[in-house]
Structures are given as C-alpha cells and as structure tokens.
C-alpha cells in the first residue's frame, strides 16, 4: 500500500506531502498515524530545523475521508488531534504550502501551522455547519484569532469558502504565489527560518504560542524560564561570534 504521507528532506527542512489524491487528500486514520511519525521525527532529529506540509496532486486536503468515517475510522489521534497535528503541533516551525482546497480538517491543519504560503487559486473553508457539524479540530478556536472577528464568523457560520487572495488581504496568508508555486515559495521561507538558531526558534515559538493566556504580572517571569537557557547556550555565543567575524553561524543546538 502506498504511503499516505510522503516525507522528503531538503537540507534541514522536512517536507510532508499528504497523499490520497483520488479523494483530494482527505485524511484517513492511516494518514494521521503517518503524520504523527513524521512530526515526531521533525522534533526528534537535530538535523531538521523546520517542516512543510503540502498536498499531492494540486490540492491540500479536503478534510476527513468520509468512507473511513463510515467504517468507524476517524482520522484523529488522542492527544494529537486531526491528522495527528491540530491539537499538538510540533515544537519546531511548521509551514503550510497550500494549492487547491484546504477545507474542514484540512483548513484546521493549515491553522495549526506557524506560516502559510498559498497559491492565488487556493480556497480555505470550514464547511462543517453545512453538514450539521462543528469545526472542532481547532477551526473555531484559531480562526477568530487569525482573522478580523466578523470575517472569521462569516466563514464559520456560512460554511462558505475564503479565497487565498482575501485570506492574504486579511493577513491569514504570509505569501501569495502563482498556482503551482506554493511549495517552492514555502521552501524559500523555510530556509530563511531554518538558517536561524535551533534553540532560539523553539523557544520563540513556544513563548509566542503559550503567552496568550499568561497572567500579565507573570509574563516576563514565565518567558524567562523558557528563554534564559537560550541566552546561556553555546549557540548564543556562536551567533555573536559569527556576527562579529562576518560569517555564517554553525549551530549545534546546545
């Protein structure tokens, strides 16, 4: 049986391609299990600095595979969420490269990423209400924080699709590309991220994500617990030395 997640490494970037093209890359339980393995490898392997999720065949992901759902096989992993991603994203930076449709759980996977690159022809959507369901894999939680409230609620309550161009205009999408170019541009963005200090990247992402619900009086204390080890690391000294010596730093992750 062909793999439902194709994993490729380019330099220090891991590319994970959802591959169920006959069903517009709809997520299966097998795909979710494969994604967990790929994301765990991304976080475990010190040679990897960033990850990209994309889809095969010109589309990202159309949501849950309904055939599997009718067989009692939901593409969700306890503690990890839809397709093994939405509830517990990786520690390292993750970029979505979107062509075609990113709908329902597919859109929620995109929202679980840190950066989004999309082709101008891409479409995002949370159509769950049209099926009498709710976007419970993070869509209802994340979209109102990423878009102006009324734009987010239009998507959530109508279930209608949001064009990549409109998403970009409202700041949801970082880079808008020509059709077919999303992965190439995502790789350029990933390489810009991956050139930076690994400890600094992980700590910065963690603070940015966790600090939203920190009490204001505790913010800097909690931040310090995460960032102080970065400042005392060998990589911090290497970063300063490389700047002074006008050369590229050689990171060791320690």
- 3-class DSSP state of 161: coil
Show the tokens assigned to 248.
Answer: 């590229």
Alpha-carbon gap, residue 198 to 180, rounded angstroms: 30
Give this prediction's pTM: 0.95
Strands 162-163 and 123-125: antiparallel
- Chain centroid, CA 109 distance in Å: 6
pLDDT at 2: 60
pLDDT at 137: 97
Whether 154 contacts 108, CB under 8 Å? no
Closest CA to 165 of 211, 212, 128, 118: 118
- 3-class DSSP state of 121: coil
**Residues of the chain scoring pLDDT < 50:** 1
Residue 78 to residues 92, 122, 126, 131, 153, Cα–Cα distance (Å)? 21, 30, 22, 24, 28
Alpha-carbon gap, residue 90 to 83, rounded angstroms: 13
User: Of how many residues is the chain composed?
Assistant: 254
- φ and ψ at 11, to 5 degrees? 55, -115
Q: Would you list the DSSP string of 44-101?
A: H-TT--EEEEEEGGG--B-SB-HHHHHTT--SEETTTEETTTSSS--SS-EEEEE-SE
Whether 162 contacts 123, CB under 8 Å? yes
Alpha carbon distance, N-terminus to C-terminus of the chain: 40
Sequence-separated (6 or more) residues with CB below 8 Å from residue 221: none
pLDDT at 1: 46
In DSSP terms, 17 is beta-bridged to 6, 54
- 3-class DSSP state of 115: strand
pLDDT at 30: 94
Residue 69 burial by Cβ neighbours in a 10 Å radius (0-12, 13-18, 19+): middle
Alpha-carbon gap, residue 84 to 78, rounded angstroms: 8
Alpha-carbon gap, residue 42 to 205, rounded angstroms: 15
Task: Give the catalytic positions in this structure.
Answer: 108, 128
3-state helix, strand, coil in the chain (%, to 5): 45, 20, 35
């Amino acid at each position: 049986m062909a793999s439902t997640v194709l994993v490729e490494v380019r330099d220090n970037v891991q590319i994970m391609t959802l591959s169920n093209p006959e069903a517009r890359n709809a997520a299966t339980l097998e795909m979710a299990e494969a994604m967990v393995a790929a994301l765990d490898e991304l976080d475990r392997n010190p040679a990897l600095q960033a990850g990209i999720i994309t889809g095969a065949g010109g589309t990202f992901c159309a949501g849950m595979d309904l055939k599997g759902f009718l067989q009692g096989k939901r593409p969700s992993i306890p503690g990890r969420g839809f397709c093994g991603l939405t509830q517990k994203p990786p520690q390292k930076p993750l970029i979505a490269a979107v062509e075609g449709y990113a709908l329902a759980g597919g859109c929620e996977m995109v929202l679980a990423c840190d950066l989004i690159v999309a082709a101008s022809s891409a479409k995002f959507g949370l159509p769950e209400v049209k099926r009498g369901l709710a976007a419970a894999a993070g869509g209802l939680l994340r979209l109102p924080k990423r878009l102006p409230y009324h734009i987010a609620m239009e998507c959530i309550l109508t279930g209608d699709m949001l064009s990549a161009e409109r998403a970009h205009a409202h700041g949801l999408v970082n880079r808008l590309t020509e059709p077919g170019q999303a992965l190439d541009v995502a790789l350029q963005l990933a390489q810009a991220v991956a050139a930076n200090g690994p400890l600094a990247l992980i700590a910065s992402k963690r603070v940015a994500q966790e600090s939203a619900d920190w009490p204001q009086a505790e913010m800097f204390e909690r931040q310090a617990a995460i960032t102080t080890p970065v400042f005392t690391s060998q990589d911090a000294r290497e970063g300063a030395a490389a700047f002074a010596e006008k050369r590229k730093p050689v990171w060791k992750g320690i």
